[in-house]
Amino acid sequence: MKLIIASNNRHKIEEIRSMLGARFERVLGQREAGLELDVVEDADTLEGNAQKKAEEVFALADSMGLMEPGDAVLADDTGLLVDALGGAPGVRSARYATDGHDDAANREKLLRELDGVPGERRGAHFATAMVLVRKDAPAVRATGRVYGSITFDERGDNGFGYDSLFLYGPAGKTFAEMDADEKNAVSHRRNALALVLAALS
């Protein structure tokens, strides 16, 4: 059985592969599977974007004869929700500063928006909505979350996106200060994947 991840984000693919490699014989990113498709993420919710990506990538793969019984496509959409900003950037997390995916610009904008906000009011959480579409089987949907706070400056060199600004309290580190194993053990994506795996079981 194979799993196609509806993404070309190398970091995300590696993270999911490390968690699901034992469940599927092959875990492939979209490009690895030979799928050239850029799904427009224009839904109003994380769940809507994940559903749209999963369905469109599955449809293309199936039309190319790539999907066999037991094969699946997994899509997710992740957002950072900051309490002091009313849940922003939320569904626009990847495009917070620009219409492109500019992580550095997104982090800079977030820090500007929180300028003057004290530490006790910088609570935030990551949410990952995940949809797994299978051939001849019902779809699986799950949302995982992890809670923390936003730092006053960037810390750490690992990870991607907002990881260098997201402080995970129990570890006393930002996600970017954790190694992959530490982060994967507690991340929003791990929590969503655990729910997906439980449903598959």
Question: Would you please indicate which residues are annotated as catalytic (active-site) residues?
Answer: 77
Of residues 47, 48, 16, 29, the one with CA closest to residue 190: 16
Please answer whether residues 4 and 61 qualify as being in contact, where contact means their C-beta atoms are separated by less than 8 angstroms. Answer: yes
Coil vs helix vs strand at 128: strand
Biggest alpha carbon distance in the chain? 55
- HEC string of 24-82? CCEEEECCCCCCCCCCCCCCCCHHHHHHHHHHHHHHHHHHCCCCCCCCEEEEEEEEEEE
Report residue 93 as tokens. 């997390």
Count the neighbouring beta carbons within 10 Å of the beta carbon of residue 88. 16
